[in-house]
Structure 1
Amino acid sequence: MSYFEFWPAWFFYLPVYLYVIYLMIRHRSIMLPTAVNPNLAGGKFVGESKDEILNTVAQFLPEYSVKHCLVRNASEIDDAELLKVVEGQLADKDIQYPLVTKPDLGCRGAGVNLIHDRHDLNTYIQGFPPNEAFICQEFIPYEAEAGVFYCRMPWEKNGKIISLTLKSFPKVIGDGKHTIRELIAMDPRARELTHIYYPRLQSKLDLIPAVSEKISLVFAGNHSKGAIFQDGRDNINQTLTETFDQISKRLPNFYFGRFDIRYQNLSTLEKGLDFKIVEINGASSESTHIWDANYNLKDAYRDLFHQFHLLFIIGEYNQKHGVKTQSIKDFYQSYLLDKKLSKLYPRTH
């Protein structure tokens, strides 16, 4: 691991916060980032609906979309009845087990679960906060995941990929002798992250996997949840750039954001083939290649400063051309709701 990978968020991002304040003063606006992608989830910086974003992908990029349905955990319906309702929606959308569940509102991988069967789905429903919504999403069997960060200035014809992060999902492999707990302790990286892996695998830690049996330590493609991020910018080529340039231009008024994709393999990805968009993060996107264990802190801050510099330039241009920004009150209420709900969601897989 790099020495700063798991610093407290407030401490790591302190220089970024100060730089953003500088940009707010320089551009004479606090909410410019909310004018960057006005048609993506209402241009929100926080509290954007994943359902709205996935519906946008399905409408404008159907060949890259994944099937999903939105479920509201209504307090007036008991869990058994809601389970029947959800399975009816799954049947209508032709979504089979296994599938992925995730909160409609939320970030940093909060509440993302891999659901194998009806029992898992019922458990997720029971642990989900009442009167809030979650998504059931088709599981894409590709093991590889990536974050493709795209940016285009509104006055320019073509954009570029400013960050490519290749994500991997750590596993331990059974030897028929050691428990999962012991196998984690034997891995030089995993043993430093027991505070992440142990609670998630609590009921399995003392089991002894069979020889060559693979035990996944994390499913969600989020660094804070234990996924491994690798700087993939050396794999950015003209074909991949043109692919995401065309994809982004098909989305209405989209200039800045990260596509989280599942892809078959790196060879086909570099050719712009065999991948699905599982999520789009807009103005609040991060250049996640900075979490590569070999990346240095100075370059990480340089890249984050650069992306916020671009963000404010695009926001200012769009505002001057009639795009309205989100109100501070609405932003703050969305922020508080996001912080509140993140603590109530089921544990991330």
Structure 2
Amino acid sequence: MAIKKFFQRLFNWELWNFYVLYAPIAPVWLWYCLRSRSLWFFTPSNPTITFGGFEGEGKKEMYDQLPQSLVPRTIYILNTLSFTQVLEKIKAAGFTYPFIVKPDVGMKGILFRKIDSEEQLAKYHERIPVEYIVQDLIELPVEVSVFYYRYPWEQKGTVSGFIHKELLHVTGDGHSTLQELVTNHSRARFRMEEMQHRHGHRFDRVIPKGEVFYLSYAGNHNRGAQFTNLHNEINARMHEVFDALSHHTTFYYGRYDIKTGSIEELKDGKNFQIIEFNGCGAEPNHIYDCGMSIWKAYGTILQHWKALYKISRYNNDHGTPYWSYKKGKNFLKEARRHFKVLEQYD
């Protein structure tokens, strides 16, 4: 079994380690650094987001800039508050169970949880070492990602990627245990250590026939979500929606994670909520789960890097400075220390 998994990983580039996947094209990134004479050439890309949204930015600054009608109700909780104070804040804001909690500064779905009860919230608050968000659980049925970029000297931008997300889950058959369902799942079996950590106490449970058991509520590739490429659905109406958002926020480059009632409603700019905006550190995740060759995937990534470089260079030429080497180094060091701490509690 171990040998089979090894060869499955070897011949499926989507399962490769991040650094292994990106190593062959890393010289292109270095070339943009040299051309800009800045290791942090990307920092002017989104001028109103810390570090351009590459890594380590807080979600609050993103939510504050988006139209409030398009983001879930959100409050911020200091981990140093007493649990009584937490409950008072949540009650005052009008939240009811279930809702979502996640770190204000987070990534890759780390410590993203759905909270169903006061007991679960108490355990989360007791453990989490940083400030976190309490946010409405958006029940809209369709979850998508939209990658968008706009050159600052142009009025209209490009929706370059559009995918549907299906959260990592198993469906019960009435006789298999959760562990057996995970072991036989095409994606979850490669995440057995994570599944054991999260759901090991339920592994002996037999999932009733037809019942859907979500293994993760984080809709990203890092957490095993399944993507379906919707590139053929991109049209002029969708471009208008995201052009308007870009002009409202001055977000020039990144990926929107969205829940909506339907694809058609999103195209019309109706009935959707923006769960996250990921800035210049966002991966064009439409390269995954669509049968794309690694060479085409590299071409897509390089296309986006070129756009990122041009946006950043223009903004720098028009008054948004590159971060200094020292400032960027210290910020990145602190961000990675922060994420390392989060991973210990995930």
Partners in 2 of 1:293 and 1:163 — Cα distance? 12
- 3-state SS of paired residue (1:161): strand
How far apart, in 1, do the equivalents of 2:344 and 2:229 lie?
A: 27
Taking the aligned partners of 1:44 and 1:173, their CA distance within structure 2 comes to: 36
Shift of residue 194, structure 1, vs aligned partner: 2.7
| Among candidates 136, 151, 158, match of residue 153 of structure 1 | 151
User: Are 1:287 and 2:289 matched, yes or no?
Assistant: no
Write the letter of the residue equivalent to 2:220: N
Q: Distance in 2 between matches of 1:136 and 1:31?
A: 32
1:186-239 deviation digits (Å, cap 9, x = unpaired) = 333433443443322111111012222221121101111111122221211111
Task: Give the alignment of 1:276-315 within 5 angstroms.
Answer: 276-292=273-289, 294-315=291-312
Q: 1:38 aligns with which of 35, 43, 47?
A: 47
Mapped to 1, the partners of 2:51 and 2:20 lie a distance apart of 30
Structure 1 residues 348 and 208: alpha-carbon distance in aligned structure 2, compared to 1, 3 A threshold: farther
Identity fraction in percent: 29
Higher relative contact order by CA 8 Å / sep ≥ 6: 1 or 2?
1
Q: Cα distance, 1:243 vs. partner?
A: 0.9
Distance 2:267 2:312 in 1: 30
DSSP-derived class of the 2:341 partner: coil
Deviation of 1:87 (Å): 2.0
5+ long unaligned stretches in structure 2: 1-7
Cα distance, 1:346–1:89 mapped onto 2, change above 3 Å: farther
Which residue pairs with 1:15 in the alignment? Answer: 24
Other structure's SS at 1:162 match: strand
Given the alignment, which residue of 213, 221, 238 partners 1:215? Answer: 213
Separation in 1 of the partners of 2:133 and 2:275?
Answer: 12
- Number of matched residues? 337
Q: Displacement of 1:279 after TM fit?
A: 1.0
Q: How does 1:230-269 map to 2 (within 5 A)?
A: 230-251=228-249, 253-269=250-266
Aligned equivalent of 1:342: 339
2:258 is paired with a residue whose SS is strand
For 1:299 and 1:348, locate their aligned partners in 2 and report how far apart those are by CA, in whole Å: 37
Look up the SS of the partner of 2:173 in the other structure: coil
Structure-2 residue corresponding to 1:162: 160
2: CA distance, partners of 1:96 / 1:34? 38
Note the C-alpha offset of 1:348.
9.0
After superposition, the Cα gap between the structure-2 partners of 1:35 and 1:268, relative to the gap in structure 1 and judged at 3 Å, is same
Counterpart of 1:230 in 2: which secondary structure?
A: strand
Residues 284 and 301, structure 2, Cα contact 8 Å, conserved in 1: yes
| Aligned-pair CA distance for 1:42 | 6.3
Could you tell me how far apart the structure 1 residues matched to 2:28 and 2:115 are? 41
Structure 1 CA distance, aligned partners of 2:267 and 2:184? Answer: 35
Q: How do 1:76-87 residues align onto structure 2 when only pairs under 5 Å count?
A: 81=82, 83-87=83-87
Amino acid at match of 1:71: I
The more displaced of 22-31 and 6-15 is 22-31
Instruction: Say if 1:149 and 1:162, in contact at 8 Å, map to a contact too.
Output: yes
CA contact (8 A) 2:38 2:322 kept: no
Pick aligned residue for 1:206 from 204, 207, 215: 204
Distance 1:316 1:217 in 2: 42
Relative distance call for 1:121 and 1:16 in structure 2 (3 A) is farther
Q: Residue in 1 aligned with 2:74?
A: 68
Paired amino acid for 1:23: Y
- Per the alignment, residue 28 of structure 1 pairs with 37
- 1:103 to 2:103 alignment: yes
Tell me: CA distance 1:238–1:56, structure 2 relative to 1, closer, same or farther (3 Å).
same
Q: CA deviation at 1:39?
A: 1.3
RMSD of aligned alpha carbons? 2.1
SS in 1 for 2:160: strand
Q: Contact conserved, 1:41 with 1:53, CA < 8 A, in 2?
A: no
Is the 8 Å Cα contact of residues 181 and 205 (structure 1) preserved in structure 2? yes
What letter corresponds to residue 206 of structure 1 in structure 2? D
How far the C-alpha of 1:38 sits from its partner, in A, is 0.8
Q: Structure 2 CA distance, aligned partners of 1:346 and 1:29?
A: 30
User: Which AA in structure 1 matches 2:240?
Assistant: E
Q: Equivalent residue of 2:135, what SS?
A: strand
Rounded to whole Å, the distance in 2 between the matches of 1:31 and 1:167 is: 31
Q: Give the aligned partner of residue 182 of structure 2.
A: 184
Task: Measure the CA separation in 1 of the matches of 2:25 and 2:336.
Answer: 20
| Corresponding position: 1:113 with 2:113 | yes
User: Is contact 1:152–1:158 with CA below 8 Å preserved after alignment?
Assistant: yes
Give the whole-Å Cα distance in 1 for the aligned partners of 2:344 and 2:87: 22
Shift of 1:346: 6.4
In the TM superposition, residue 242 of structure 1 has moved relative to its aligned partner by 0.9
Would you say 1:325 and 2:318 are equivalent positions? no
Q: What is the TM-score with the length of structure 1 in the denominator? A: 0.90
Task: Write the letter of the residue equivalent to 1:288.
Answer: N
Q: Is the partner of 1:34 in helix, strand or coil? A: coil
> Within 1, Cα distance between the matches of 2:305 and 2:345?
29
